[in-house]
A = this chain, B = another copy of it.
Amino acid sequence: MPLNRSLVSGLPAFAGLSGDDVDAVLATARSSRFPKDSEVFSQDEEAAQFFLLLSGHIRVVRTTPEGDQVIARYINEGELFGIAIAMGQVTYPATAVAAVDCVVLSWPNAAWPGLQSRAPAFGANAYQTIGARLQDTQSRVVEMSTRQVEQRIAGAVMRLVQQSGRKTEEGVEIDFPITRQDIAEMTGSTLHTVSRLMSAWEDEGIVKSGRQKVTVTDPHALMLVAENRRKK
Protein backbone atom coordinates (compact mmCIF):
# COMPACT_ATOMS: atom_id res chain seq x y z
CA MET A 1 0.00 0.00 0.00
CA PRO A 2 1.69 3.23 -1.13
CA LEU A 3 1.77 6.16 1.22
CA ASN A 4 -0.45 9.04 0.38
CA ARG A 5 1.24 12.33 -0.30
CA SER A 6 -1.43 14.19 1.61
CA LEU A 7 0.07 12.73 4.79
CA VAL A 8 3.17 14.87 4.48
CA SER A 9 2.66 17.54 1.86
CA GLY A 10 2.17 20.32 4.39
CA LEU A 11 5.27 19.52 6.43
CA PRO A 12 8.35 21.77 6.42
CA ALA A 13 10.50 18.78 5.48
CA PHE A 14 8.62 18.63 2.18
CA ALA A 15 8.48 22.35 1.52
CA GLY A 16 9.47 23.27 -2.01
CA LEU A 17 8.88 19.81 -3.46
CA SER A 18 6.53 19.16 -6.34
CA GLY A 19 3.78 16.58 -5.92
CA ASP A 20 5.75 14.13 -8.01
CA ASP A 21 8.84 14.70 -5.93
CA VAL A 22 6.87 14.04 -2.78
CA ASP A 23 5.66 10.76 -4.25
CA ALA A 24 9.19 9.85 -5.22
CA VAL A 25 10.43 10.48 -1.70
CA LEU A 26 7.57 8.53 -0.19
CA ALA A 27 8.21 5.62 -2.53
CA THR A 28 11.22 4.55 -0.50
CA ALA A 29 9.60 5.15 2.88
CA ARG A 30 7.65 2.85 5.05
CA SER A 31 5.40 3.60 7.95
CA SER A 32 5.38 1.89 11.32
CA ARG A 33 3.87 2.14 14.78
CA PHE A 34 5.86 2.43 17.99
CA PRO A 35 3.96 1.89 21.20
CA LYS A 36 4.56 4.16 24.17
CA ASP A 37 7.97 3.65 25.83
CA SER A 38 9.39 1.63 22.94
CA GLU A 39 12.68 2.64 21.34
CA VAL A 40 12.77 3.80 17.74
CA PHE A 41 16.53 3.58 17.75
CA SER A 42 19.21 3.24 20.32
CA GLN A 43 22.35 5.18 21.21
CA ASP A 44 25.56 3.90 19.53
CA GLU A 45 23.57 1.53 17.38
CA GLU A 46 24.61 1.57 13.74
CA ALA A 47 22.45 4.11 11.94
CA ALA A 48 20.61 2.27 9.17
CA GLN A 49 17.57 4.49 8.71
CA PHE A 50 16.30 8.00 9.18
CA PHE A 51 12.85 8.96 10.36
CA LEU A 52 9.99 11.39 10.28
CA LEU A 53 7.44 11.54 13.08
CA LEU A 54 3.91 11.47 11.69
CA SER A 55 2.11 11.44 15.00
CA GLY A 56 2.98 11.27 18.66
CA HIS A 57 5.92 12.64 20.62
CA ILE A 58 9.43 11.31 20.87
CA ARG A 59 12.02 11.87 23.55
CA VAL A 60 15.66 11.88 22.49
CA VAL A 61 17.95 10.84 25.34
CA ARG A 62 21.70 10.70 25.76
CA THR A 63 23.15 8.42 28.39
CA THR A 64 26.65 8.87 29.77
CA PRO A 65 28.98 5.96 30.49
CA GLU A 66 28.19 6.58 34.19
CA GLY A 67 24.50 6.12 33.54
CA ASP A 68 23.36 9.73 33.79
CA GLN A 69 20.63 10.62 31.34
CA VAL A 70 20.08 13.93 29.58
CA ILE A 71 17.12 14.69 27.35
CA ALA A 72 18.53 16.19 24.17
CA ARG A 73 15.14 17.24 22.80
CA TYR A 74 11.57 16.27 22.14
CA ILE A 75 10.54 15.58 18.56
CA ASN A 76 7.16 16.92 17.53
CA GLU A 77 4.82 15.78 14.80
CA GLY A 78 6.15 16.47 11.33
CA GLU A 79 9.82 16.63 12.31
CA LEU A 80 12.70 14.61 10.96
CA PHE A 81 14.82 12.71 13.46
CA GLY A 82 17.60 10.17 13.53
CA ILE A 83 19.15 11.84 10.49
CA ALA A 84 22.65 10.65 11.29
CA ILE A 85 23.18 10.08 7.58
CA ALA A 86 22.88 13.81 6.88
CA MET A 87 25.59 14.52 9.43
CA GLY A 88 27.98 11.88 8.21
CA GLN A 89 27.56 9.89 11.43
CA VAL A 90 27.80 6.14 11.47
CA THR A 91 25.91 5.56 14.71
CA TYR A 92 22.98 7.26 16.40
CA PRO A 93 24.27 9.65 19.05
CA ALA A 94 21.24 9.17 21.29
CA THR A 95 18.26 6.95 21.98
CA ALA A 96 14.79 7.84 20.67
CA VAL A 97 11.91 6.73 22.89
CA ALA A 98 8.22 7.05 22.09
CA ALA A 99 6.70 9.30 24.78
CA VAL A 100 3.25 8.18 23.61
CA ASP A 101 2.11 5.78 20.89
CA CYS A 102 3.72 7.04 17.70
CA VAL A 103 3.55 6.63 13.95
CA VAL A 104 6.78 7.21 12.07
CA LEU A 105 7.97 7.08 8.51
CA SER A 106 11.37 5.57 7.96
CA TRP A 107 13.76 5.46 5.06
CA PRO A 108 16.78 3.22 4.64
CA ASN A 109 19.96 5.29 4.64
CA ALA A 110 20.76 3.75 1.28
CA ALA A 111 17.95 5.85 -0.16
CA TRP A 112 19.56 9.13 0.93
CA PRO A 113 21.85 9.77 -2.05
CA GLY A 114 19.02 9.03 -4.47
CA LEU A 115 16.68 11.38 -2.65
CA GLN A 116 19.35 14.06 -2.67
CA SER A 117 19.54 14.05 -6.44
CA ARG A 118 15.85 13.37 -7.11
CA ALA A 119 14.59 16.03 -4.68
CA PRO A 120 17.40 18.31 -3.53
CA ALA A 121 14.95 20.49 -1.62
CA PHE A 122 14.27 17.55 0.69
CA GLY A 123 17.95 17.35 1.53
CA ALA A 124 18.17 21.09 1.99
CA ASN A 125 15.27 20.97 4.43
CA ALA A 126 17.02 18.25 6.39
CA TYR A 127 20.17 20.37 6.58
CA GLN A 128 18.13 23.31 7.74
CA THR A 129 16.67 21.14 10.49
CA ILE A 130 20.17 20.25 11.63
CA GLY A 131 21.22 23.88 11.55
CA ALA A 132 18.22 24.89 13.63
CA ARG A 133 19.01 22.18 16.17
CA LEU A 134 22.59 23.34 16.40
CA GLN A 135 21.36 26.83 17.20
CA ASP A 136 18.90 25.47 19.77
CA THR A 137 21.60 23.46 21.42
CA GLN A 138 24.00 26.41 21.50
CA SER A 139 21.28 28.47 23.13
CA ARG A 140 20.87 25.78 25.69
CA VAL A 141 24.56 25.94 26.53
CA VAL A 142 24.28 29.69 26.94
CA GLU A 143 21.24 29.26 29.15
CA MET A 144 22.95 26.70 31.33
CA SER A 145 25.98 28.95 31.66
CA THR A 146 24.18 32.14 32.52
CA ARG A 147 20.77 31.47 34.11
CA GLN A 148 19.80 29.98 37.40
CA VAL A 149 17.87 26.78 37.72
CA GLU A 150 14.49 28.43 38.21
CA GLN A 151 14.88 30.46 35.04
CA ARG A 152 16.04 27.44 33.07
CA ILE A 153 13.14 25.31 34.21
CA ALA A 154 10.68 28.08 33.45
CA GLY A 155 12.23 28.46 30.00
CA ALA A 156 12.04 24.74 29.34
CA VAL A 157 8.39 24.57 30.34
CA MET A 158 7.63 27.61 28.17
CA ARG A 159 9.22 25.95 25.16
CA LEU A 160 7.37 22.71 25.79
CA VAL A 161 3.98 24.42 25.89
CA GLN A 162 4.80 26.51 22.85
CA GLN A 163 5.89 23.53 20.79
CA SER A 164 3.61 20.87 22.16
CA GLY A 165 0.87 22.73 23.95
CA ARG A 166 -2.81 21.82 23.86
CA LYS A 167 -5.42 24.29 24.96
CA THR A 168 -7.70 23.26 27.80
CA GLU A 169 -10.16 25.31 29.79
CA GLU A 170 -7.54 25.73 32.51
CA GLY A 171 -4.72 26.91 30.28
CA VAL A 172 -2.22 25.27 27.98
CA GLU A 173 -1.23 21.72 28.75
CA ILE A 174 1.85 19.86 27.61
CA ASP A 175 0.51 17.31 25.18
CA PHE A 176 2.31 14.22 26.46
CA PRO A 177 3.11 12.67 29.81
CA ILE A 178 6.14 14.29 31.38
CA THR A 179 7.61 13.73 34.81
CA ARG A 180 9.56 16.00 37.14
CA GLN A 181 12.49 13.74 36.41
CA ASP A 182 12.13 14.44 32.68
CA ILE A 183 12.14 18.17 33.25
CA ALA A 184 15.18 17.80 35.49
CA GLU A 185 16.98 15.92 32.70
CA MET A 186 16.18 18.72 30.27
CA THR A 187 17.54 21.44 32.53
CA GLY A 188 20.51 19.91 34.29
CA SER A 189 18.73 19.81 37.61
CA THR A 190 17.08 17.30 39.95
CA LEU A 191 13.51 16.13 40.30
CA HIS A 192 13.50 17.55 43.82
CA THR A 193 14.27 21.06 42.69
CA VAL A 194 11.77 20.84 39.85
CA SER A 195 9.11 19.62 42.23
CA ARG A 196 9.75 22.39 44.72
CA LEU A 197 9.68 25.12 42.10
CA MET A 198 6.58 23.83 40.40
CA SER A 199 4.83 23.63 43.76
CA ALA A 200 5.78 27.25 44.39
CA TRP A 201 4.50 28.25 40.96
CA GLU A 202 1.29 26.43 41.64
CA ASP A 203 0.86 28.48 44.81
CA GLU A 204 1.36 31.61 42.72
CA GLY A 205 -1.24 30.46 40.22
CA ILE A 206 1.22 30.20 37.33
CA VAL A 207 0.83 26.48 36.63
CA LYS A 208 -1.31 23.55 37.57
CA SER A 209 0.33 20.19 37.57
CA GLY A 210 -0.19 16.63 38.58
CA ARG A 211 1.13 13.23 37.85
CA GLN A 212 2.97 13.36 34.53
CA LYS A 213 0.98 16.43 33.59
CA VAL A 214 1.77 20.13 33.44
CA THR A 215 -0.65 22.93 32.57
CA VAL A 216 0.44 26.52 32.32
CA THR A 217 -2.35 28.81 33.47
CA ASP A 218 -0.45 32.10 33.30
CA PRO A 219 2.08 32.04 30.46
CA HIS A 220 2.95 35.68 30.91
CA ALA A 221 3.90 35.18 34.54
CA LEU A 222 5.95 32.14 33.59
CA MET A 223 7.78 34.22 31.02
CA LEU A 224 8.60 36.75 33.71
CA VAL A 225 10.01 33.95 35.84
CA ALA A 226 12.11 32.74 32.92
CA GLU A 227 13.49 36.25 32.49
CA ASN A 228 13.97 36.69 36.22
CA ARG A 229 11.79 39.79 36.22
CA ARG A 230 9.11 38.54 38.54
CA LYS A 231 8.38 40.65 41.55
CA LYS A 232 8.82 38.24 44.44
Contacts and interface: CB of A to CB of B under 8 A. Distances in A.
A127 B116 CA distance: 13
A62 B144 contact: no
Given A142-B62, A145-B70, A131 B130 contact: yes
Instruction: Quickly give the copy total for this chain.
Output: 2
Contacts of A87: 127-128, 130-132, 134-135
A134 B133 CA distance: 7
Contacts of A66: 146
A141 B89 contact: no
A210 interface: no
A6 interface: no
A70 B141 contact: yes
A137 interface: yes
Interface string A137-166: 110111011100000000000000000000
Interface centre among A124, A127, A134, A135 (most CB of B within 10 A): A134
A70 B138 CA distance: 10
A86 interface: yes
A131 B70 contact: no
